[in-house]
Every structure is written in C-alpha cells, then in structure tokens.
C-alpha cells in the first residue's frame, strides 16, 4: 500500500520554477562560479563580510536586513549599512579586549537583533561562534561551554540572572561576559560588560583582520535525537553552500521578505536564519516570541513574508490549531514554503496546499552537512513524502555497509544508508574532541549520514528512518516514518511516533504512540479504528500491532520526536542521556 503514497507525483504542486532545466543547471554548476559571484577569494573569505559589507559597498546599503519583532512592542528595522556599523563595532570591541582569531564566543539569547550582531561581529575577526538555545538550563550550557573552552559569553540580563549567575565561578574558561540589558536600559551585572556601551565605545572602522575559507567559523551542537549531542565544526567557506542553497532550495531574491522560524541555537537558525538570507541581500524577519498559531499567521500576513522556512513540528502545531484559524488571514505575497528537521508527512504537504494555498517543500540536511543537501525545489515537481533531489554541487548515493566495506547501491528503490560525496564547502571538519568518531563517518570519499533512505527511478530520495530507529519485524525492515505518515492521515491524529518493541516471535513488533487533535477522546473504539486504518493502508506486516495514546510525544529541545525515549520508556529502561531534555527551564 506504500505505493499509494509514493507514486503521487504532483506537477500541480509545483510552484513557479526558479530555473529552466534542473539537470542542465546541475551539470553547469561549479563552486568556483559561486565563489566568483560572491567576490570571495582564498585569502579573504569571511562569512560576515560577505553577508553584510558586500551589500553596503553595492546598492544594498539602505535595504532592510533585519525586521526584528520583539515579543511585545513595535517592530525594529536594521538596514545593511547599520548592521555593518554595529557588527564592526562589536568586532572592534572584542579586539580591544584582546579577543581574536580562533577564540570561542558563545551567545545565549532568544531571537533578538543583538544576537545577530554579536554572531556576525565575532565572525568578522575570526572568532568561532556558538549560539546556544536560550531554553537550555544551566547544565547543558555549562557542558557546552566546557567542551568548547569558550572565552566569551554574550547573553541577556534575564538569562544571566536565571542561568549563569549561580555557576559563573565554575565557568573558568570564560574571560568576558557581555550582557544585553532589558529594553533600552543598561545591564547592571557586576563583573560583566554592558552590551550597549560595549558597542557604543568601540571603533566603527572595519577591523583589520582577514580570514580564509578553511578558518573555523561556527561550532554547532547536534540536536541529540540519537544520543549525546556532538559539536560539529564549520568553516568560513561554508558561505558558498549557504549562498547556493539559498538560491536553489529557497529561491531567495533581493526583494524577498524571508522568515526562518528556527532558533539560532540550532544549525538551521544560523545557516538559514542569519547567513543565507543576508548573503542574498533579502529582508529577514526575526521574531522573538514563542510559537503561537495566531501570531504566526499574523506575521506571515502583516510582514508580507514571501519565502517561509519552517519545520514539521511547527506545521503539525498549525494543523492541530485547525484550518478555520488560518482562513482568517490572507497571504498574497507568500510564494514559497520549505520545511526541514524531521520527515514531512505527505499529509502536511497537502495541508499547505489546501490551507495556505501552497504546498510545503521538504528538504533534508544535518548539522554535519552545514547546509541543505537534498530538496524539493521550485524547479521540481513535488512528490509528497519525498525529501526531493540532491542540489547542484551535491552528490548523494544509497550505500550498504557489508563486511567492513561500503558498497554503492545503483539500482533504484533499494533501501540503504544515505551517503554524500565529500567536497561540498559546508561539510563539518571535526566533531570537537571526538576525532575517532569523526573518522568513522567516512568511507573513502563518502560521508555516511546515519540515515536510511531510498532513491526512486526519477532520482528522488525518500527518508526511511534513522539507522538506529529502523524496525526489524518478521524479516521485514520497517521505517517508522512510513507508518507514522499513514497514522497522520487519520483525521483524529495530531502526531505519531513509531518504535520496534522487542518480541520473542517476530523480533520486533511495530508499536505506535499517538497524540490526538484537540477535543478528541482516546477511546478503545478509536484505537481499533486506527489499527484498522493502518492495516488497510500498510498491510498487516507493516501496520502497528499496538497503539498507545499519549497527550504529547517526547521531543528534543529542537522539537524533534525522540523515538529512543519512547522505546526506553516502553522497555522500562533508564532513559539514557537526555541532556537535551534535562536542565531546561
């Protein structure tokens, strides 16, 4: 029955193509050409200068770079010229403190404009930047600062008081703390610098520091869906990827208003919340507030967002809030929607088409890849449930690990591990402090992603599951995503998480955890109905044998469903390292 999902190719779901011939564009593509277009060279290659200063030298100085929406109060605008001034000042401020190339700057703040300034300013002088998720509690913050030996922390007064103050003495690597005051008042944290006066007193001239494409730029921690988060190291050269993918996967043009809803604490929030849109000279919306369905629809409407990049978890929450709410708003400027982070169920692609008037384009990448690798793009027909095709400059393959060797599977339709040919510019260069683990990700010139997928005859890639999550039941390999997608088609279901539960006869039996839409009761009759629905759609071998109702599913701090936790709970095991859940507010 899986064919019912897979073979629904929908030319009707194609939005205006951003290039005439996808295959020709892939063939003609070269990284040198992208480098030339950006005006970057081997001895002067800096993400922040390319993202900001480049536009100020050209016609874009007065264009709005950031439209910052505080949780309460008026929107604030920051032009490219102003962003250049502020980032230069921040950079010079750091230099005056003796902070320089290679030093680690951590930024713990919500989605606010100073976070963008601090990140870009630090990059300008070759510091390595790590934005931290602001809802982390003290423990995950301290662990990450410790791993990275961070020298500088930029944070807000409220976050400092709540999370840092009590443990400040234990953070021995930190030489400087810069605190952003609340509203327009200066911070009064003893022993720390006030952000506003730090900027005000620094020189405005461009800092005389150059970086190269292989200099370290960003340190991002993974989401911790499968275990302890890893610190992935990225370099300035990654900007080539951010620029190219901004064009091919997100279709960014300078007159766009772009909204990436990811938090900068996760790689998407930096690569696409900050860097890619600025490289393209677009206006980025930065919303400080937490998710609220009504506020989000209002932002899409009132800010006249044209390109929107969000995540399945957010889309599921909007779906849960019901279509009536969406119909109170109009989105005439919206022309492209993309999603990343988890598999996007076909149901969600359709929901976009029906409720927002546009389908949702799923794309795939990881903290390790630094940028989008596989995507449903405006130039391609969408196959709902597929991640799309490898972008120009990206070579993907399906491989099988066999007796210590890695074999590329050429024939279509076969499940295997998703691999990428090394050489794309935003590839991670290390797992900080875990060299052996890094080495193990590679076989020859292939990077092994740890995700299972298959490629169809048209070259589209289909996510099967993480290698760790795949279920082996009575000789079948079952990807949880396929089962979850079918459960999501049922009108009562808001979310589903599927695991393999050890079973003496079949090895593992398929068990589903389901949360229901608002106002729906978890009754025995509904459970039977769901079991029947799944059996009809998937067949008895793949359909869940057990379904349990949960009010909500456990997630990582970045919002992903944590199947390993569902499994640990099912088995009554210790929940392992759940540092991504622990220690939050």
Q: For ligand ATP, which stretch binds (CB under 6 A), given 19-27, 226-234, 249-257, 517-525? A: 226-234
DSSP letters for 12-59? GG--S-SSS-HHHHHHH--HHHHHHHHT-BTTB--HHIIIIIHHHHTT
Could you tell me how many residues of this chain bind ligand ATP (CB under 6 A)? 25
89 versus 389: smaller Cβ distance to ligand ATP: 389
Using CB under 6 A as the criterion, what x/- string covers residues 195-224 for binding ligand ATP? Answer: ---------------------------xxx
Tell me the torsion sign for CA atoms 135, 136, 138, 142. Answer: negative
| Token output for 418 | 């998703």
Residue 511: enclosing H or E segment and its boundaries?
strand 507-516
Q: Applying CB under 6 A, which of residues 347, 451, 482, 495 lies at the interface with ligand ATP? A: 451
Subset of 278-307 contacting ligand ATP (CB under 6 A): none
Which one of Mg ion, ligand ATP, none interacts with residue 347, CB within 5 to 8 A by kind?
Answer: none
Alpha-carbon distance of 147 to 219, in angstroms, equals 11
Could you tell me how many residues of this chain bind Mg ion (CB under 5 A)? 1
Q: Applying CB under 6 A, which of residues 117, 286, 334, 340 lies at the interface with ligand ATP? A: 340
- Contact (CB, 8 A) for 168 and 142: no
Residue 388 CB, nearest distance to ligand ATP (Å)? 9
Which one of ligand ATP, Mg ion, none interacts with residue 560, CB within 5 to 8 A by kind?
Answer: ligand ATP
Alpha-carbon distance of 512 to 428, in angstroms, equals 34
225 versus 284: smaller Cβ distance to Mg ion: 225
Q: Is residue 226 a contact residue for ligand ATP (CB under 6 A)? A: yes
Q: For Mg ion, which stretch binds (CB under 5 A), given 114-122, 219-227, 370-378, 491-499? A: 219-227
Residue 33 CB, nearest distance to ligand ATP (Å)? 27
Q: Applying CB under 6 A, which of residues 52, 202, 315, 387 lies at the interface with ligand ATP? A: 387
CB atoms within 10 A of CB 524: 7
What Cα–Cα distance (Å) separates residue 499 from each residue in 54, 207, 467, 577? 49, 53, 12, 18
Residue 191 CB, nearest distance to ligand ATP (Å)? 34
Q: Applying CB under 6 A, which of residues 198, 259, 364, 447 lies at the interface with ligand ATP? A: 364
3-state secondary structure 415-483: CEEEEEECCCCCCCCEECCCHHHHHCCEECCEEEEEEEEEECCCCCEEEEEEHHHCEEECCEEECHHHH
Q: Is residue 390 a contact residue for ligand ATP (CB under 6 A)? A: no
Which one of ligand ATP, Mg ion, none interacts with residue 515, CB within 5 to 8 A by kind?
Answer: none
Q: For strand 231-235 and strand 430-431, is the pairing parallel, antiparallel, or unpaired? A: antiparallel
Residue 471 CB, nearest distance to ligand ATP (Å)? 15
Which one of ligand ATP, Mg ion, none interacts with residue 364, CB within 5 to 8 A by kind?
Answer: ligand ATP
Residue 221 CB, nearest distance to ligand ATP (Å)? 8
3-state secondary structure 351-418: HHHHHHCCCCEEEECCHHHCCCCEECCCCCCECCCCCEEECCCCCEEEEEEECCEEEEECCCCCCEEE
| Token output for 360 | 């949702």
Q: Which of 178, 141, 176, 148 is nearest to 162 (CA)?
A: 141
Crossing angle for the helix pair 524-538 and 480-488, to the nearest 10 degrees: 120
Q: Is residue 22 a contact residue for ligand ATP (CB under 6 A)? A: no
Q: For Mg ion, which stretch binds (CB under 5 A), given 59-67, 123-131, 216-224, 526-534? A: 216-224
Q: Applying CB under 6 A, which of residues 82, 103, 215, 362 lies at the interface with ligand ATP? A: 362
280 versus 564: smaller Cβ distance to Mg ion: 564
Using CB under 6 A as the criterion, what x/- string covers residues 476-495 for binding ligand ATP? Answer: --------------------
What Cα–Cα distance (Å) separates residue 403 from each residue in 76, 407, 472, 534, 553? 58, 10, 20, 36, 37
DSSP letters for 308-354? EEE-HHHHHHHHHH-HHHHHTS--TT--EEEE-SS---HHHHHHIII
Residue 2: enclosing H or E segment and its boundaries?
none
Q: For Mg ion, which stretch binds (CB under 5 A), given 109-117, 222-230, 252-260, 439-447? A: 222-230
309 versus 364: smaller Cβ distance to ligand ATP: 364
Crossing angle for the helix pair 113-124 and 80-96, to the nearest 10 degrees: 60
Alpha-carbon distance of 373 to 363, in angstroms, equals 8
What Cα–Cα distance (Å) separates residue 531 from each residue in 169, 346, 534? 55, 19, 5
Q: Is residue 341 a contact residue for ligand ATP (CB under 6 A)? A: yes
113 versus 360: smaller Cβ distance to ligand ATP: 360
Q: Is residue 554 a contact residue for ligand ATP (CB under 6 A)? A: no
Q: Applying CB under 6 A, which of residues 466, 490, 533, 567 lies at the interface with ligand ATP? A: 466
Residue 565 CB, nearest distance to ligand ATP (Å)? 12
Q: Is residue 271 a contact residue for ligand ATP (CB under 6 A)? A: no
Alpha-carbon distance of 470 to 484, in angstroms, equals 13
Residue 418 CB, nearest distance to ligand ATP (Å)? 8
Q: For ligand ATP, which stretch binds (CB under 6 A), given 56-64, 108-116, 364-372, 569-577? A: 364-372
Residue 151: enclosing H or E segment and its boundaries?
none
Alpha-carbon distance of 178 to 196, in angstroms, equals 9
Half-sphere exposure of 125 (CA within 13 A, CB side): 26
229 versus 273: smaller Cβ distance to ligand ATP: 229
Subset of 34-73 contacting ligand ATP (CB under 6 A): none
Alpha-carbon distance of 419 to 78, in angstroms, equals 40
Residue 366 CB, nearest distance to ligand ATP (Å)? 4
Residue 147 CB, nearest distance to Mg ion (Å)? 17
155 versus 363: smaller Cβ distance to ligand ATP: 363
Using CB under 5 A, list all residues that contact Mg ion: 222
**Which residues are at the interface with ligand ATP (CB under 6 A)?**
222-227, 229-230, 266, 340-344, 362-364, 366-367, 387, 449, 451, 463, 466, 560
């Amino acid at each position: 029955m899986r064919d019912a999902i897979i073979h629904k190719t929908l030319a009707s779901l194609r939005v205006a193509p951003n290039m005439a011939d996808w295959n020709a564009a892939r063939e003609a593509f070269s990284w040198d050409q992208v480098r030339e277009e950006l005006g970057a060279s081997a001895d002067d290659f800096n993400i922040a200068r390319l993202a900001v200063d480049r536009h100020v030298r050209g016609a874009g100085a007065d264009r709005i770079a950031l439209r910052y929406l505080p949780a309460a109060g008026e929107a604030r605008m920051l032009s490219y010229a102003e962003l250049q001034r502020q980032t230069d000042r921040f950079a010079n401020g750091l230099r005056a403190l003796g902070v320089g190339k290679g030093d680690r700057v951590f930024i713990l703040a919500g989605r606010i404009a100073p976070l963008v300034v601090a990140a870009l300013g630090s990059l300008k002088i070759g510091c390595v930047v790590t934005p931290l998720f602001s809802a982390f509690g003290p423990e995950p913050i301290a662990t990450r600062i410790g791993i990275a030996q961070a020298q500088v922390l930029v944070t807000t007064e409220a976050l400092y008081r709540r999370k840092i103050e009590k443990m400040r003495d234990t953070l021995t690597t930190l030489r400087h703390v810069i605190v952003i005051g609340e509203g327009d008042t200066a911070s009064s944290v003893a022993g720390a610098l006030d952000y506003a006066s730090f900027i005000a007193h620094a020189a405005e001239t461009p800092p005389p520091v150059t970086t190269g494409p292989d200099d370290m730029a960003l340190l991002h921690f993974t989401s911790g869906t499968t275990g302890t988060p890893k610190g992935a190291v990225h370099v300035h050269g990654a900007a080539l990827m951010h620029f190219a993918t901004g064009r091919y996967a997100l279709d960014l043009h300078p007159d766009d208003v772009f909204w990436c809803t990811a938090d900068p604490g996760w790689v998407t929030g930096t690569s696409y919340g900050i860097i890619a849109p600025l490289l393209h000279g677009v206006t980025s919306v930065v919303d400080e507030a937490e998710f609220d369905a009504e506020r989000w629809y209002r932002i899409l409407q009132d800010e006249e967002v044209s390109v929107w990049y969000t995540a399945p978890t957010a889309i599921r929450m909007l779906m849960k809030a019901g279509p009536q709410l969406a119909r109170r708003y109009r989105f005439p400027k919206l022309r492209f929607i993309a999603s990343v982070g988890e598999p996007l169920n076909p149901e969600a692609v359709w929901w976009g088409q029906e409720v927002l008037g546009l389908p949702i384009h799923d794309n795939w990448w990881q903290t390790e890849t630094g940028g989008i690798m596989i995507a449903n793009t405006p130039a391609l027909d969408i196959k709902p449930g597929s991640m799309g095709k490898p972008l120009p400059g990206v070579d993907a393959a399906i491989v099988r690990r066999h007796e210590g060797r890695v074999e590329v599977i050429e024939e279509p339709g076969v499940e295997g591990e998703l691999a990428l040919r090394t050489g794309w510019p935003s590839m991670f260069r290390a797992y900080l402090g875990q060299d052996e683990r890094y080495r193990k990700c590679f076989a020859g010139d292939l990077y092994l992603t740890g995700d299972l997928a298959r490629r169809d005859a048209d070259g589209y890639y289909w996510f099967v599951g993480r290698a760790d999550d795949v279920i082996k039941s009575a000789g079948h390999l079952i990807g949880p995503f396929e089962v979850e997608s079918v459960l999501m088609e049922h009108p009562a279901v808001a979310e589903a998480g599927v695991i393999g539960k050890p079973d003496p006869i079949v090895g593992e039996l398929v068990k589903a955890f389901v949360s229901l839409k608002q106002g729906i009761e978890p009754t025995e009759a509904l459970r039977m109905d769901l079991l029947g629905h799944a059996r009809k759609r998937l067949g008895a071998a793949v359909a869940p044998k057990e379904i349990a109702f949960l009010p909500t599913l456990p997630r990582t701090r970045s919002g992903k469903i944590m199947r390993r936790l569902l499994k640990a709970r099912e088995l009554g095991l210790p929940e392992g390292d759940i540092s991504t859940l622990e220690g939050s507010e």
